[in-house]
Amino acid sequence: MLKEEVVEEKKVKSYRDIMAGSKAVATAVKLCDVDVVAVYPITPQTPIAEYIAELVANGELKAEYIKVESEHSALSACVGASAAGARTFTATSSQGLALMHEVLFIASGLRLPIVMVNANRALSAPINIWNDQSDAMASRECGWIQIYVETNQEALDSVIMAYKIAENKDILLPVMVNMDGFVLTHTYEPVEIPSKELVEEYLPKYEPLISLDPENPVTMGAIADPNYYMELKYSQVKALENSKDVVKKEQEEFYKLFGRKYDLIEKYKMENADIILATLGSVSGTIKDVIDKLEREKGYKVGLVRVRLYRPFPKEELLDALKGAEVVGVIEKNVSPGIGGGALFNDIKSALYGKSDAKVIGFVAGLGGRDIPPWDIEKAIEICTLAKKEEVEETYWLGLRRW
């Protein structure tokens, strides 16, 4: 049903629908006028590929839909298409992202503004098709901008913003939008879909800085010997670091046009909180409910920081948000074997080292799609409360069955 909103004195036609996260992503791809889609089906990402295929078949999206034989080929096709000047999209999950691993480095090293949605899913073995975030965490050092979303609305909006960020001439890096598999990809939520005209106002047609052209030959992907490799890597790393400011800018521009506000980190109930939880993705909603419940029933002052932009890591923003905390409890759906806790826990602990006296406790939860019920989050808060008075362990596994 059409509705009219006034955003900065502009009448904007949009409509609301109840849709799965997969369809929200496909809708964003359509709104962004993507030229080339190369995607290989894998659970729970498959509906994204199916929805986009339907849009192309119906003529609603005038894009080249490349049928490939693997995820490695899907990203490779996007690399070639992006190098030729096309706006490209792909999606994957778990083992598919792992199979792309080689090409992830190539895409970022060639400074190609590819956008990919990763439906977070546990990695084998043992075989598991359910949600955790170990797949994206295993790829966090590949030079991609990484965004984690909480809702289907945020998934749609983040894909649109991702192209604007990736195609910025000072950045030119690929963006991975991470959404929890099944939890978001297959769950129906209300989503507001902006008009095509408004998206076009925000996201202009892609004009590549350099592209492969037989009439004007250029070299891409040439060998770099020890005289050049470090400098090229340095420029890539600096572009990734500088992308944080571009993300901030584009979030503000998005807010002005669309009326939905995002930030590098989301802060919830942080006023006077001495215990602050930190997390990524869709579990944030459950944590907010638990925080509200404990505030009503026990008077607890617990805050939440949801990390939306994970790479580049928002170190300064986290330091500012956590400066009043006695204890920081990091709840996440991944684990870093051999060092303990998850990736976000270790990053936050590193960021706070020498800057804060807060105790940092890691909580591994939800691996392989195991539910993270409210009482597990309450248990994490109780451990954090205890840590204010006495020594506790540095890492815990929530919901672990005792054999």
Q: Which domains does the chain have, with CATH numbers?
A: 2-258 (3.40.50.970), 265-397 (3.40.50.920)
Q: What single string gives the DSSP state of each residue in 247-270?
A: HHHHHHHHHHHH-----SEEEES-
Query: Taking a C-beta distance cutoff of 8 angstroms, is the pair 309, 243 a contact?
Result: no
Q: Which residues, 6+ apart, have CB-to-CB distance to 204 below 8 Å?
A: none
122 exposure class (CB count in 10 Å sphere: 0-12, 13-18, 19+): buried
Residue 403 pLDDT: 63
Token representation of residue 105: 């480095």
Distances 350 to 244, 345, 392 between C-alpha atoms, Å: 19, 9, 19
- pLDDT (tens digit, 9 = 90+) per residue, 106-143? 999 999 999 999 999 999 999 999 999 999 999 999 99
| Mean predicted lDDT score pLDDT of the chain | 96
Rounded distance between C-alpha atoms, residue 166 and residue 173, angstroms: 5
Rounded distance between C-alpha atoms, residue 287 and residue 289, angstroms: 5
Residue 6 pLDDT: 45
Dihedral Cα 345, 351, 353, 355, nearest 10 deg: -130
Token representation of residue 326: 């006695």
Examine the pLDDT at 232 and tell me if it is beyond 50.
yes
User: What backbone torsions phi and psi does residue 136 show, to the nearest 5 degrees?
Assistant: -70, -35
Examine the pLDDT at 9 and tell me if it is beyond 50.
no
Query: Taking a C-beta distance cutoff of 8 angstroms, is the pair 117, 108 a contact?
Result: no
User: Cis bond leading into 126, ω under 30°?
Assistant: yes
Percentage above 70 pLDDT, the chain: 97
